[in-house]
Amino acid sequence: MVNQSWRTAASRALAQPLDQLVGAKTAKPFRQLDLLTVGDLLHHLPRHLMAGTEVTDIGRLLSEAAEPDDYVALVAQVASVQLHGQAPRQRLEVQLNDGSGALTATFFGGPHLIRYWQGLLSRSERGIFAGKLSWFRGLPQLAHPAFVMITPDGFVGSQKSQLMAEQTSRASFIGLYRQTAKLPTWTIAACIDLALTAIAGLDDPLPAWLRQAADLMDWEAAFKAVHHPASLAEHDRGLERLLFDEAFAVQATMAYRRADRSRQTAVPRPPRPDGLAAAFDQRLPFPLTDQQIAIGQQLAADLARPQPMRRLLQGEVGSGKTVVALRAMIQVVDAGGQAVLLAPTEVLAQQHFRTLTSLLGDLGHGPLTGPASATEIVLVTGSATAAQRADIRAQIRSGQAGLIVGTHAVLADGIEFADLGLVVIDEQHRFGVEQRQALTGRPGSLPPHLLVMTATPIPRSVALTMFGDLDLVTLTQSPSGRAEVTTTVVDVNAHPAWVDRVWARVQEEVAAGRQVYVVAPRIDLAESGAGSRARHQAAASVPSAGLAGPLPPPPPMPDWLTAVTALFERLQTGPLAGLKLGLLHGRLAPAEKDATMSAFSAGNLDVVVATSVIEVGLDVANASMMVITEADRFGVSQLHQLRGRIGRGRYPGLCLFLTAAAPDSAARQRLDTVASTRDGFALAEADLAQRREGDVLGLNQSGRSSSLRLLNVLEHADIIDQARDLAQRQLDQDPELTDPGVADYVQRIESLAEADIGD
């Protein structure tokens, strides 16, 4: 779509490696913050803007701080300076007060440093202090803050604090940056000043008409405004420009991708009235929902066109997406092509294979052993033997296998398709764009149609950004006969006896002829270690709002409840003795996993004890209960997906979240949110609000590959809408992407995708 060289001086300046600007030694610690280029650095915005001429409200600061270890800045009076201890181990405690609250600043060092700090602190009663907020014996403190004292003659402070004084003297606000142990905020600020110099005088990369239509601040002025604002209003204007730039880059990329797709040619795959699809519909053991029928008709029409279909099918848990996808795949087979269903894990691929095989019956055994309209269905995974792989490759190459189900192994060298007509990607968030392109962009052939599926409902603003190049259809209607599911949070600290009742309830469910899932967050106890568990328990106790000091961590959940191997052994010999239990986790051999899933699906196991490998795919109508231990370790979407494994038949479902998280902690509130509703869209909004959107283009989830550094797709939905409209106008005016600035914006996004594919 675009060439591989930057067309504008602005883009070249932003793409300049950081070591060329500040030197290799200075640039090295920036890697920990994923800051590799001048553009990365300029988009590393202050996490806090401090008004240098005001006295900070310490009381308000402490009550509103999000969490301990936050970096804070304040202007306060020095109430007292006290020396404690004897040389050579001494500490200096400085009491800071502004009338609304008090805070202790503590300094440790040798006698010469202590004397130096005492001298500086005695130069004035008022100073600027910045550092990490921590708690010691229930009281707030700043440990080793950087500081300058404000005197009638100017600023006096340590060498590393001089930049703060310089910033204060030239701007109304001082920026404090997210930092690391080896990269203090002062160094970051100094390097940002160099970066601002590097872009000085460069032309704005966006067209003038577009900046005017969006009412945007000038590009260079925007960077100055976010780092050295004269007012908060100026900072907000600068931030608005940077947010728009991110949104526009994504939306322009999506617009040109859609335009490219409209110019591509694909093999039409029209439906046949007397083929495999018709025979399949006649044999379905259940009626399709109205939505399944309507969406099926949309997909059928898309597949019949000579342009490649690009659809995103999002559906609530249990809404029947797999059947919709299978009917589309069968239509392609009827038209002489092949269809691939790509799953992110071997467990899910095997489950899909079993489901499709069961639904197809003898229609999935090929015309040699089945009806004339039948086709062969094969499973491609990494665990197949060499002989099996060779046989499967031959069936795919010859076209004998019309339906292929597999994992990433489908992308491996050696897989040749006779006529690939449709690619279905399940659980798209588990993949990157490289999987899409590896199958849809194969050289020497027309692109196949593409159907992307996700059971994680997507808010509109996310869909516009993450899947803006795909046409969205939504499946919310559950098949008839699905039961309700009740969810309860079990506080193991407040009600320890309830844990015994949980296992008694499992016994009752099995006695009634039903089956149960028990889920734990890790495989074995060694996976996290005692230190990690202690940190997790402490984190789970942090209040979700306010900061009056840390709550004492709750008694930890018994270790045997947190790992599936220990849990399986305890349940098998203890509270669930006598029941038929199965173990399922990612380290088991594929044959063991498949045997356990098959046994559970066939009703030969009462309880399966598993990790989150059962999150998607398993469809056992007789499973009516789920117990999730240490549930606060799972995210909102993951809990919703796990819970979706029960209530898939006619029996009412019961889901229990076991947790040791404090009642007022963010972790507990997350569990309460999931327990309160089964509305996947409401939960998706809550999930996104807590963890942001990760990488919205479906690239690698690392910060380096993330296409968005500043934009929050929930908070900035209006900006995304505006950018989408203007991107379409830009496309209409410039369909060949000749504008150099816009071309660079698009190339920047496409380059991220290409970099991930290369990785």
pLDDT at 625: 96
Q: What is the mean pLDDT of residues 665-693?
A: 78
Which has the higher per-residue pLDDT, 463 or 287?
287
Instruction: Give the residue with greater pLDDT, 358 vs 469.
Output: 358
* Neighbour-count burial of 683, counting CB atoms closer than 10 A to its CB (0-12 exposed, 13-18 middle, 19+ buried): buried
Checking DSSP bridges between strand 146-151 and strand 154-157, what pairing results, if any? antiparallel
pLDDT score of 533 more than 50: no
CB 414 within 8 A of CB 442: no
Is residue 641's pLDDT more than 80? yes
Contact present, 237 and 222 (Cβ < 8 Å): yes
Q: Give the pLDDT confidence score for residue 22 in this predicted structure.
A: 93
Give the model confidence (pLDDT) of 688-735 as tens digits.
666 544 433 343 333 333 467 888 877 888 999 999 999 999 999 999
Whether pLDDT at 491 is above 70: yes
What is the dihedral angle through the alpha carbons of 178, 182, 186, 191, rounded to the nearest 10 degrees? -90
Hey, which CATH number is domain 48-176, 3.40.50.620, 2.60.40.1930, 3.20.190.10, 2.40.50.140? Answer: 2.40.50.140
**pLDDT computed for residue 413 by the predictor:** 62
The domains spanning 276-475 and 494-659 adopt the same CATH topology:
yes
Distance, CA of 128 to CA of 145 (rounded, Å): 10
Task: Give tens-digit pLDDT for 302-334.
Answer: 999 999 999 989 877 777 888 999 999 999 999
Residue predicted with more confidence, 355 or 245: 245
Q: What is the pLDDT of residues 369-416, one digit of tens each?
A: 556 678 999 999 887 888 888 899 999 999 999 999 998 888 776 788
DSSP 46: -
Tens of pLDDT, residue by residue over 111-157, are 888 888 888 887 667 777 777 777 777 677 888 887 878 776 655 66
Higher model confidence: residue 245 or residue 349?
245
CA–CA dist 93, 82 (Å, integer): 5
Say whether pLDDT at 28 is over 90.
yes
Quick check: 284 pLDDT over 80?
Answer: yes
Closest to 688 measured CA to CA, from 658, 665, 717, 660: 717
Q: What pLDDT does residue 509 have?
A: 95
Q: What is the pLDDT of residues 236-248, one digit of tens each?
A: 999 999 999 999 9
pLDDT tens digits along 6-26: 999 999 999 999 999 999 999
Mean pLDDT over each residue of the chain, to the nearest integer: 81
Token code pair at residue 753? 């995708």
What residues does each domain of the chain span?
Answer: 48-176, 276-475, 494-659
89 pLDDT band (50/70/90 cuts)?
confident
Alpha-carbon gap, residue 1 to 752, rounded angstroms: 14
Q: So what's the pLDDT on residue 494? A: 85
**Range of lowest pLDDT (117-126, 276-285, 498-507):** 117-126
CA angle 66/667/655 to nearest 5° reads 160
Residue 546: what pLDDT? 30
pLDDT of residue 551: 38
* Predicted pLDDT at 164: 57
Looking at residue 123, what is its pLDDT?
64
Confidence at residue 734, expressed as pLDDT on a 0 to 100 scale: 96
Instruction: Give domain 276-475's CATH number out of 3.50.50.60, 3.40.120.10, 3.90.380.10, 3.40.50.300.
Output: 3.40.50.300
HSE-up of residue 26 (Cα within 13 Å, Cβ side): 17
Q: Tell me what the mean pLDDT of segment 282-297 comes to.
A: 90
pLDDT greater than 50 at residue 366: yes
Which is higher by pLDDT, 322 or 469? 322
Q: What is the Cα–Cα distance from 383 to 386, expressed in whole angstroms?
A: 9
Architecture of the CATH domain 494-659: 3-Layer(aba) Sandwich (3.40)
- Cβ partners under 8 Å of residue 508, min gap 6: none
Q: Quick: pLDDT tens for 584-602.
A: 998 888 888 888 988 998 9
Q: What is the DSSP letter of 313?
A: E
Closest residue by Cα to residue 334 from 308, 300, 305? 300
